[in-house]
C-alpha cells in the first residue's frame, strides 16, 4: 500500500477527550473506520499485517469482472433511518476533565503481590504509588506492589505554648495510593434521525467510545451521518485462487450488463477445497 504523509499538524487548537470503552481492537478499528471519515480524511486499517492509515479518500485499486467470478450475489438492504442506543450516555456524549487530583484508594500491601482498583466513574491521569507492572484504564488499575507496607515510630515536632517540642508517633510507609482526576460524561443525544427523512429501520448501536472529536467545526468522530450515507446495495462473489486484494480495497466491478460500479471490499474468506484455493469476498457499493 502506498504510504501517505500525515496531515499538517495544527497548533493552538481546542483539545477534545474521548473515553474508549472495553472492546476488542478489531471492534474499535471497525467503529473508527465507519464513523470518522470525511473530506480528505479516511482512516483505513488493513486487517492483514500492520495497520495502515490513509489520510486521503481511497481510489480504485482493482478491476474485477463479473464473468470471472462465481456465485455472484447482489442484495439490497433496508436503509438506516434512525440510530439509537440503550447506553445511558446516549449515542453522542461530551467528556470534560476535572483538574482536581483526588486520592481514590489507599491499600496496605505485600511486596510482589498483585492488586487492583476499579470504579464506576472514569478518571484520567490515574497513578499508583509504590507500584510496578502497572496497567491503567479510565476505570481500573492493576499492579504489583514494590515494597511491603510498614509502620514505624518516628520523631515529630510540634508547637506548644510557643515552644517547639518533639514527640514519638507511629506512621505508615509504603502504601499503594491510587490517585486520579475525574472525567465526567454528559449525554447529548439519545438518538439520531437521518436528516433526509428517508424510510428505513432503526439501528440499535453500542457506542465504542464516549466523547466527540472535531476538526474545526466539523464533527470527525463519531460521525453517525456516515451510516446514513452508506449505500444499501451489497453483495458477494467467489474468486478463484488467492486474491491479492485486502479488506477496504476499492475496486471497479464490471457487470455482465455492461455497467461498472465502484465498490469497497468488506471481507475476504479464504477456502481450501478440491485441491485448490478460492476466496469469498463481500462488498458494498461505493467508497465506504
* pLDDT digits 0-9 by tens, 96-137: 999 999 999 999 999 999 999 999 999 999 999 999 999 999
User: Between these two residues, 57 and 204, which has the higher pLDDT value?
Assistant: 204
pLDDT at 49 over 70: no
- Alpha-carbon span 265 to 3, nearest angstrom: 20
* pLDDT, tens digit, 9 for 90 and up, residues 222-248: 998 888 888 999 999 998 876 788 888
User: Between these two residues, 5 and 116, which has the higher pLDDT value?
Assistant: 116
C-alpha cell at 78: 433496508
pLDDT at 260 over 60: yes
- CA distance to 58, 106, 166, 167, 286, per residue, from 154 (Å): 68, 21, 10, 8, 73
Across the range 76-100, mean pLDDT stands at 93
- Look at residue 141 in the predicted model and tell me its pLDDT: 96
DSSP helix, strand, coil percent of the chain (3-state; round to 5): 5, 55, 40
The percentage of residues in the chain with a pLDDT greater than 90, rounded to a whole number, is: 55
pLDDT at 218 over 90: no
C-alpha cell at 196: 433526509
- Look at residue 2 in the predicted model and tell me its pLDDT: 42
- Alpha-carbon span 166 to 169, nearest angstrom: 10
Q: Mean pLDDT over all residues of the chain?
A: 87
Q: Whole-structure pTM over 0.85, yes or no?
A: no
Amino acid at each position: 500500500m502506498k504510504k501517505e504523509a500525515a496531515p499538517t499538524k495544527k497548533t493552538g487548537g481546542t483539545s477534545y477527550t474521548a473515553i474508549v470503552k472495553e472492546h476488542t481492537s478489531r471492534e474499535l478499528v471497525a467503529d473508527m473506520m465507519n464513523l470518522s471519515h470525511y473530506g480528505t480524511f479516511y482512516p483505513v486499517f488493513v486487517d492483514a499485517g500492520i495497520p495502515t492509515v490513509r489520510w486521503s479518500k481511497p481510489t480504485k485499486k482493482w478491476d474485477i469482472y463479473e464473468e470471472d467470478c462465481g456465485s455472484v450475489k447482489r442484495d439490497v438492504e433496508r436503509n438506516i433511518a434512525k440510530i439509537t442506543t440503550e447506553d445511558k450516555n446516549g449515542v453522542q456524549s461530551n467528556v470534560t476533565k476535572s483538574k482536581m487530583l483526588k486520592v481514590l484508594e489507599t491499600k496496605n500491601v505485600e511486596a510482589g503481590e498483585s492488586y487492583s482498583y476499579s470504579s464506576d466513574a472514569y478518571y484520567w491521569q490515574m497513578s499508583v504509588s509504590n507500584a510496578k507492572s502497572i496497567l491503567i484504564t479510565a476505570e481500573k488499575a492493576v499492579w504489583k506492589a514494590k515494597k511491603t507496607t510498614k509502620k514505624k515510630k518516628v520523631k515529630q515536632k510540634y508547637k506548644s505554648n510557643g515552644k517547639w517540642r518533639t514527640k514519638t508517633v507511629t506512621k505508615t510507609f509504603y502504601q499503594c495510593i491510587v490517585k486520579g482526576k475525574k472525567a465526567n460524561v454528559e449525554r447529548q443525544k439519545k438518538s439520531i434521525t437521518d436528516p433526509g427523512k428517508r424510510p428505513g429501520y432503526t439501528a440499535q448501536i453500542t457506542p465504542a467510545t464516549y466523547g466527540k472529536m472535531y476538526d474545526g467545526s466539523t464533527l470527525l468522530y463519531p460521525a453517525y451521518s456516515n451510516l446514513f450515507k452508506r449505500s444499501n446495495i451489497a453483495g458477494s462473489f467467489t474468486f478463484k485462487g488467492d486474491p491479492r486484494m485486502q479488506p477496504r480495497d476499492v475496486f471497479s466491478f464490471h457487470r455482465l450488463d455492461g455497467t461498472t460500479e465502484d465498490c469497497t471490499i468488506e471481507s475476504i474468506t479464504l477456502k481450501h477445497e478440491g485441491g485448490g484455493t478460492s476466496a469469498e469476498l463481500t462488498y458494498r457499493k461505493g467508497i465506504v
